[in-house]
Amino acid sequence: MAVALALVLLATPTLAVRPDEMLANPALEARARELSQGLRCLVCRNENIDDSDAGLARDLRLLVRERLVAGDSDEAAMAFIVDRYGEYVLLSPTLSGSNLLLWLAGPLMLLGGGVIAWVTVRQRAGQPEVAPLSAEDQARLAEMGRDGV
Amino acid sequence: MIVELGHFALIVAFVVAILQTVVPMYGASRRDGALMALAGPASVAQFLLIALSFGALTYAFVVSDFSLKLVVENSHTAKPMLYKVAGVWGNHEGSLLLWVLCLSLFGACVHWFGDNLPKTLKARVLSVQASIGVAFLAFMLWTSNPFLRLASPPMNGNDLNPLLQDPGLAFHPPFLYLGYVGLSMAFSFAIAALIEGRVDAAWGRWVRPWTLAAWVFLTIGIAMGSCWAYYELGWGGFWFWDPVENASFMPWLIATALIHSAIVVEKRESLKAWTVLLAILAFGFSLVGTFIVRSGVLTSVHAFATDPQRGMFILAILAVFIGGAMALFAVRAGALEAKGVFAAVSRESALVLNNLLLTVAAFVVFIGTIWPLVAEIVWGRALSVGAPFFDAAFTPFMVVLALVLPIGSAMPWKRAELGRVVRPFRAAFALSVALMLLVYALQTGRSALGPVGVGLSAWVVIGAGMDVWMRTGRGAIGGRFGRLMRLPRADWGRAVAHAGLGITMFGIASMTAWVTEDIRVVKDGETYALGPYEVTLVGVGEVEGPNYTALRADLQVKRDGVEVARLYPEKRDYPVAGMGTTEAAIRQGVADDLYLVIGDPQEGGGWAVRSYIKPFANWLWGGVLIMSLGGFLSLSDRRYRVAAAAARRGVGVPAE
């Protein structure tokens, strides 16, 4: 259900990118598609403008294409849009300020966990091969012996 | 009357659950056999009562009892019977009832199959299991009661969301919940073990198969949701890294780690504290998922409950259970001493690495999922974390995991010599690299994802094959084949599950890297080229469904002048629900899926048509199925059946 309900909101009965908005130049169009996949549709939930059917997403798609046709580089076109709509439109958070924490969380955790695991495993490897039996286990063993098992 | 009976049964189940929480726990601390023995019958009673309640709600949906608020909101008389039944769990309240039904079922299973468990452990497990039930039954009865009546019933209902009216989705929630809630079993065992201060091989022998069963259900449930997204959403996406998808993926990753670390507990009596922690985390992430889906905190718009009161209630449940479990863990984990020692290079260490990668990967998903919330609260930054982040931050962990998997699963227990383990894999590695280079040469100017995916999946699949082959020992080929057939099912299960993972990786990589897309306006009778195919729009007509009307396109697909498929994509409109859906038409194949979607009529004539060739799409679902098949194989291993049979004879299970 979880997955389903999430996607209910993503789902659109009509098509996202429409034939009439595509650029004639295939290289530019490919770049526009690429950029669109990194931009969030502002009125949808976690959906990029390339897949969204919302009117605002279409406006953004047209804006991206307009900038590319005007000769903007990918970075300039993205900067243009972020200037106007805020960093909320970026599906991939920038590598700046507090976001560094987000990007580095995985590698740092792997490093930390790796060190802990390594130290623990090394320590354990140094322990005697066979742990001595506990008093309880010895008693059980003695009992088994009596039963002739 | 039947509905009231169901409501009443739910309240009685709540009372039974309270008794089951308190009495056996007290009995276990006093070593009072009679009080402990109450747990078993109580768990069965709780299950039967909730089943009765669930049956009553299902009945109300089947007969379209529109005096029930829930039925009005989620059903309609014209809806096909399958979806009337599926409508029971297609909403917040009903799905919660399914949730507690699964929970009580697992509790009853502890009683039915748990004769060989130590008495105090069994009583404590059932008590913890019932305490989860108490929390969720209270949540239902006070904030999300499915049995509320309406003073003036309407003539008909509002229909179920049309996107949910789909066979794939009808069965998606039961599987997902059996998985989610199945992890509660590992949690209850972990808490009981912490209270007892004892984790041994018998504990691992119990926890592992049940976690494995939950994992299999969760795997199938997630795959069903993903498969549904693929054919229903109209452009063939299969994973969106949406918070709610992540909610099911995080427990899956932790559960995967857990089934691996439980092996070490069972076979080697090591990694006990860590395994207990994973068991707590796995269920913790299940609860986090429940919170994400039902609170609406992480999402401004949501189809499920967005009631803040409900969100607070689940947050309280989460805080009590996970906070309590962590506190207990902090105090008691020291009591769980390890017995088996192992060297830095050994199977145990390989499984530690597996656990490290899977757990960190799960935390990466977790941080990405909650980051927008954190950034907003702490720094006042409104930002988004979407697919590009997860693709970049999560994928490397899976790449490393795939790289070490074949070597790791060939390691012997206790102590290994890396050189000797790696030696037989040299040919397999060379072959995988060769395949990677071949693919790289064949595809020009495309992303590196394709070749890397092919190389890695070949490595994992060949490694899985070598895993079983190397277990047959030395000698003549014939004898080795004979031994191959007689290998324990657990060995086969492991190899099959790992091969399934490799195949899934191949499907994901090829589908992402090599998709062909075409968007255009097509007029009636017009033909266009799509890769090696020619597609002709024969015509578009209207069709009438049971509770919808649809535009249906008739598309003929030819290859080299020969018709290979006739596809009928639809655009449906559900008037009662006031929504539409796209029904893509898909010709499924081994090498590729042909995926056609019909869109809006265009000004100046013609139709918007989207066409895709999705290479090796079926390998993705096939791989996941093979993975779960591996789980089943492992579950059916003779050793567990022997354990069950021994339990029936009243003999304890010997710890290996």
| Tens digits of residue pLDDT in B340-365 | 788 888 898 999 999 999 999 999 99
Residue B37 CA to residue B14 CA, distance in Å, equals 19
A 10 A CB-CB count for A9 gives 18
Q: According to the per-residue pLDDT averaged within each range, which of B96-105, B198-207, B541-550, B644-653 is highest?
A: B96-105
Average pLDDT over residues B254-283: 92
* The pLDDT of residue B516 is above 80: yes
> Which residues, at least 6 apart from B471, have a Cβ–Cβ distance to it below 8 Å?
B483, B487, B491
Write out chain A residues lying below 8 Å of B238, CB-based. Answer: none
Locate all alpha helices (DSSP H) within B375-488, ordered by sequence. 387-410, 418-422, 426-442, 449-470, 477-486
Write phi, then psi, for B556 (nearest 5 degrees): -105, 130
Average pLDDT over residues B315-324: 92
Distance from CA of B229 to the nearest CA of A (A): 7
Give B 5-34 residues with CB within 8 A of chain A: none
- DSSP-based helix, strand, coil % in chain B, nearest 5: 65, 10, 25
In a domain? residue B609:
yes
Render pLDDT for B290-311 as a digit per residue (tens, 0 to 9): 888 776 666 533 344 456 778 7
Residue B303 forms contact with A (CB below 8 Å): yes
CA atoms within 13 A on the CB side of B551: 17
Residue B503 CA to residue B619 CA, distance in Å, equals 6
Residue B104 CA to residue B130 CA, distance in Å, equals 8
Locate all alpha helices (DSSP H) within B471-557, ordered by sequence. 477-486, 489-513
Which of B234, B244, B339 lies at the smallest CB-CB distance from A3?
Answer: B244
Average pLDDT over residues A55-73: 88
Max CA-CA distance within chain B? 84
Task: Provide the pLDDT confidence category of residue A121 given band limits of 50, 70 and 90.
Answer: confident
Which of A16, A98, A102 lies at the smallest CB-CB distance from B235?
Answer: A16
CB contact under 8 A, A46 and B381: no
Which of A93, A110, A125 lies at the smallest CB-CB distance from B342?
Answer: A125
Beta bridge partners of B615: B592
Average pLDDT over residues B471-493: 84
CB contact under 8 A, B302 and A9: yes
Write out chain A residues lying below 8 Å of B375, CB-based. Answer: 98-99
Average pLDDT over residues A120-128: 72
Which pLDDT score is estimated for B505? Answer: 95
Residue A85 forms contact with B (CB below 8 Å): no
Which pLDDT score is estimated for A145? Answer: 53
Task: Provide the pLDDT confidence category of residue B605 given band limits of 50, 70 and 90.
Answer: confident
Which pLDDT score is estimated for B651? Answer: 42
Residue B574 CA to residue B571 CA, distance in Å, equals 10
Q: Higher-confidence residue: A86 or B250?
A: B250
Identify whether the C-beta of residue B480 lies closer than 8 Å to the C-beta of residue B473.
Answer: yes
DSSP string, B310-335: HHHHHHHHHIIIIIHHHHHHHHHGGG
Average pLDDT over residues A76-92: 89
Average pLDDT over residues B597-621: 89
Which pLDDT score is estimated for B299? Answer: 55
Residue B483 CA to residue B474 CA, distance in Å, equals 10
Render pLDDT for B379-437 as a digit per residue (tens, 0 to 9): 888 888 988 999 999 999 999 999 999 999 988 888 888 888 888 899 999 999 999 98
Write phi, then psi, for B340 (nearest 5 degrees): -75, 130
Residue B638 forms contact with A (CB below 8 Å): no
Residue B479 CA to residue B95 CA, distance in Å, equals 53
Which pLDDT score is estimated for B158? Answer: 81
Give B 534-573 residues with CB within 8 A of chain A: 571-573
Which pLDDT score is estimated for A143? Answer: 60
Which pLDDT score is estimated for A135? Answer: 64
Average pLDDT over residues B152-157: 85
Task: Provide the pLDDT confidence category of residue B640 given band limits of 50, 70 and 90.
Answer: low
The model's pTM: 0.90
In a domain? residue B480:
no
CB contact under 8 A, A4 and B600: no
Average pLDDT over residues B646-651: 48
Which pLDDT score is estimated for A142? Answer: 63
Which pLDDT score is estimated for A139? Answer: 65
Residue B627 forms contact with A (CB below 8 Å): no
Which of A6, A86, A92 lies at the smallest CB-CB distance from B386?
Answer: A92
Number of domains present in the structure of chain B: 2
Which pLDDT score is estimated for B652? Answer: 42
Which pLDDT score is estimated for B459? Answer: 95
**Chain pair A-B, CB pairs under 8 angstroms:** 215
Instruction: Give the three-class secondary structure for B157.
Output: coil
In a domain? residue B557:
yes
CB contact under 8 A, B356 and A18: no
Domain boundaries, chain A: 7-89, 99-147
Classify residue B5 as exposed, middle or buried by CB count within 10 Å of its CB (0-12, 13-18, 19+). middle
Distance from CA of A59 to the nearest CA of B (A): 18
In a domain? residue B120:
yes
* The pLDDT of residue B23 is above 80: yes
Average pLDDT over residues B186-198: 92
Max CA-CA distance within chain A? 93
Which pLDDT score is estimated for B624? Answer: 95
Task: Provide the pLDDT confidence category of residue B328 given band limits of 50, 70 and 90.
Answer: very high
C-alpha to C-alpha distances, B35 to B18, B39, B44, B115, nearest whole angstrom: 14, 8, 16, 16
Task: Provide the pLDDT confidence category of residue B145 given band limits of 50, 70 and 90.
Answer: very high
- Domain range for B33: 1-165
Which pLDDT score is estimated for B493? Answer: 93
Give the β-pairing of B592-601 and B607-615.
antiparallel
* The pLDDT of residue A124 is above 80: no
Residue A66 forms contact with B (CB below 8 Å): no
Classify residue B4 as exposed, middle or buried by CB count within 10 Å of its CB (0-12, 13-18, 19+). exposed
Residue A24 forms contact with B (CB below 8 Å): no
In this structure, which CATH number among 2.60.120.10, 3.50.50.60, 1.10.8.640, 3.20.20.140 belongs to the domain A7-89?
1.10.8.640
Residue A45 forms contact with B (CB below 8 Å): yes
Instruction: Give the three-class secondary structure for B346.
Output: coil
Write out chain A residues lying below 8 Å of B301, CB-based. Answer: 9, 45
Which pLDDT score is estimated for A12? Answer: 40
Average pLDDT over residues A139-147: 57
Task: Provide the pLDDT confidence category of residue B206 given band limits of 50, 70 and 90.
Answer: confident
Q: What percent of chain B has pLDDT over 90?
A: 50
Which pLDDT score is estimated for B305? Answer: 46
> Which residues, at least 6 apart from B383, have a Cβ–Cβ distance to it below 8 Å?
A87, A88, A90, A93, A99, B371, B372, B375
Distance from CA of B277 to the nearest CA of A (A): 14
* The pLDDT of residue B653 is above 90: no
In a domain? residue B27:
yes
Beta bridge partners of B566: B556
Q: For chain A, first and last CA: distance in Å?
A: 53
Which pLDDT score is estimated for A9? Answer: 40
Residue B363 forms contact with A (CB below 8 Å): yes
